[in-house]
Amino acid sequence: MSASTSRVPWHAAPAARPMGGWRFGVPAASGAVEWTLKRNCSITPGQLLAAYGAQCVLSLGVAGFFWTQGAHLVMPFAGCELLAVAAALLAFARHAGDRERIALGDGRLRVETIDGGRVERIEFAPDAVRVEAGDGGSLIELTSRGERIAVGRHVRPELRPWLAAELRDALREQLRGATV
């Protein structure tokens, strides 16, 4: 095992973006930049369905064995267990596609959030946007002319200052007329 030290804490917000590009954003066509922030799902819907199917087969197989041995209450409890697991998996599936998409280009900052099937879209003029990164890892608020939206739900709290700094840099470059 090795260790290294640095004068700057790993969680400190950067003064500028790293050399050679963006940390969170991806350059898109026509000089635009897009940030897609989403959950890190480690299992596909097909794999989840297969795992649940295997659990159903195993649970009902064990319950069926005990049913034949005379323990008739095992089967209803196994059914209740499988229904509870199915309800939990449906709640998980409802939010598995949650994401936030931020696009800066064509003189507009477009923000789209999807949370449990609810979609919220808002557009800002880049010259009037204020990026407010709260303390303690709270969400990043984008405000402009009375409109407000919070982003960064799917970014670890210690990385949100980096994202806020990157958004500020991109807005500054857009205002200077530089290619983002």
Query: Does 31-39+98-176 carry CATH code 2.30.29.30?
Result: yes
Q: Residue ranges per domain, the chain?
A: 31-39+98-176, 45-95
Rounded CA-CA distance 16/14 in Å is 5
pLDDT recorded at residue 64: 97
Please give the pLDDT value at position 22: 74
pLDDT (0 to 100) of residue 18? 53
68, containing H or E segment: helix 45-68
- The DSSP secondary-structure symbol of 101 reads E
Q: Which of 171, 175, 170, 173 lies closest to 23, judged by CA?
A: 170
Nearest Cα residue to 66 out of 76, 55, 80, 56: 76
Give Cα 60 distance to the centre of its chain. 36
The one-digit pLDDT tens for each residue of the chain (180 residues) are: 444 444 444 445 455 545 457 788 888 777 788 999 998 888 888 899 999 999 999 999 999 999 999 999 999 999 999 999 999 998 888 888 899 999 998 889 999 999 988 999 999 998 889 998 877 778 999 999 889 999 999 998 988 998 999 999 999 888 887 544
In this prediction, residue 12 carries a pLDDT of: 52
Rounded to 5°, the CA angle 171-173-174 comes to 60
Q: What is the pLDDT of residue 178?
A: 53
